Amino acid sequence: MPKKSSWALWGAALFLAWNGLLLLFLWSRPPSPSPSGGSSSRLPSELIRLAQDAEAELERQKELLRQIHRLSGLWELRRRQKVPATPPAKVPVVPSPEEDAALPVLVLACDRSTVRRCLDKLLRYRPSARRHPVIVSQDCGHAETARVIASYGDAVAHIRQPDLSDIPVPPEHRKFQGYYRIARHYRWALGQVFRVFRYRAAIVVEDDLEVAPDFFEYFEAALPLLRDDRTLWCVSAWNDNGREQMVDVSQAELLYRTDFFPGLGWLLLAELWDELEPKWPRAFWDDWMRQPEQRRGRSCVRPEVSRTMTFGRKGVSHGQFFDQYLKFIKLNDRFVPFTRLDLSYLKKDEYERSFLPRVYAAPEVRVEELQGNRRRDLGAVRLQYSGRDAFKAFAKALGLMDDLKSGVPRAGYRGIVSFVYRGRRVYLAPPRDWTGYDPTWS
């Protein structure tokens, strides 16, 4: 019998034995004597109190058993995926591609009971429970959120970050305690996925994201690309400049390479976690990912139209960017059969052979001409910047997110940001002889 299944059976046996002993103890206790020396008047209330005590303890034990059951189910799923039936002697058995490519979704949760909105869409759109198990990792110990997650039963696996202690932080970072907790939770949860459950890849979302109908289709198609192209290190469902008026919804199948780590629904391989885990930061993990030391010249894939949207204004960032940008992100509503499309154009050499000439062949215009909606006959156009201040001024004037992380603009590739402005394609681009990012730009 597999080891993990044995644990589940031992858990069930202990559960039954414990409750038998508990009931025997409770019902055999003598009733407390009344002040008048008689016990008959107190007996009904004593029995009620004993019953209530027994019921409360039973509920606690049932929750423990449910947790054992969920985790044993997940272990059993991994065992079936990794351990094929015993083959005939000397005949090797190789797991099928479908078994080997199970792609879980890790949901990071804390104290938002609105996690239901995230989970409902994930469960509605996933094509296969076996291929796409949903693992909800909860931090914070928030009871109402835990009840919401538990209400899904075996449809999701509910794991809990065990360390809820305060984290010592420098005095100037007291107001950033939440960012330290998030980084700790990410490290623990990703460790569970890759070290305990031993998946080879995972999609990471947070509890305030809603997913598009083709969310799983997108990641299924991009997974082989991520494995094959070592110049890629993630696939993201998010376009930082993905507001409805700034994307071409008629090209929902269009994907890009980006040097900016977008997050907000992203796919990584176990090999990347092997690299990142030993140096995982204590706080601000996403900006840490955007540093040159971690990125190491690699890119992510991102869509023209986002496959996630955030509904979480409340959070440790206190709604930073939410009211101005994030709540306007267009969530794709048209299913694109990505697994039937050829995505080889996203491989580095092929992408640069087609994307860069297209950008620099576009006629150059001034920002005033764009704002005045002039020279419409030119089609796609290019707006060229030559320094940090020029980039930020143009981005602000056109409604793009203008912040840079380690010198990289949001959604940018080789410094180029592609977007739609007043119905036309615009490339905000550095000069053709661009030589690389300047990490001092911020």
How far CA 93 is from CA of 76, 80, 83, 90, in Å, comes to 19, 13, 9, 10
* Cα-based angle 357, 360, 366 (whole degrees, multiple of 5): 160
Q: Taking 80 as the threshold, does the pLDDT of residue 249 lie above it?
A: yes
Residue closest to 197 by CA, chosen among 101, 84, 71, 86: 71
Two tokens at 409? Answer: 């603009």
Where do the H-state alpha helices sit in 129-262? 143-150, 177-191, 215-228
Report the distance separating Cα 292 and Cα 50, nearest Å.
Answer: 63
- How confident is the model at residue 211, as a pLDDT? 98
pLDDT band at 38 (very low <50, low <70, confident <90, very high): very low
E strands in 362-432? 381-384, 404-405, 408-409, 417-421, 424-429
- How confident is the model at residue 314, as a pLDDT? 65
Check 120, 207, 214, 286 and give the catalytic one. Answer: 286
* Residue pair 64/73 in contact by the 8 Å Cβ criterion: no
Could you give phi then psi for residue 411, rounded to 5 degrees?
70, 10
Query: Which residues in 406-437 are b (16+ Cβ under 10 Å) and which e?
Result: bbbbbbbbbbbbbbbbeebbbbbbbeeeeeeb
Beta-sheet strand order (sheet of 417-421): 381-384, 424-429, 417-421
Q: Which residues pair with 421 in a beta bridge?
A: 424
Report the distance separating Cα 104 and Cα 32, nearest Å.
Answer: 55
Mean pLDDT of the chain: 85
- How confident is the model at residue 76, as a pLDDT? 57
What CATH architecture does domain 355-429 belong to? Answer: Roll (3.10)
Please state which CATH class domain 97-346 belongs to.
Answer: alpha beta
pLDDT band at 322 (very low <50, low <70, confident <90, very high): confident
Helix, strand, coil abundance in the chain, percent, nearest 5: 45, 15, 40
* Residue pair 157/135 in contact by the 8 Å Cβ criterion: yes
Lowest mean pLDDT among 16-20, 248-252, 353-357: 16-20
Question: Where along the chain do its domains lie?
Answer: 3-33+41-82, 97-346, 355-429
- How confident is the model at residue 312, as a pLDDT? 74
| 286 among known catalytic residues | yes
Q: Taking 50 as the threshold, does the pLDDT of residue 39 lie above it?
A: no
Express each pLDDT in 173-231 by its tens digit: 999 999 999 999 999 999 999 999 999 999 999 999 999 999 999 999 999 999 999 99
CA end-to-end span of the chain: 57
pLDDT band at 325 (very low <50, low <70, confident <90, very high): confident
- How confident is the model at residue 12, as a pLDDT? 55
Share of the chain above pLDDT 90, in %: 73
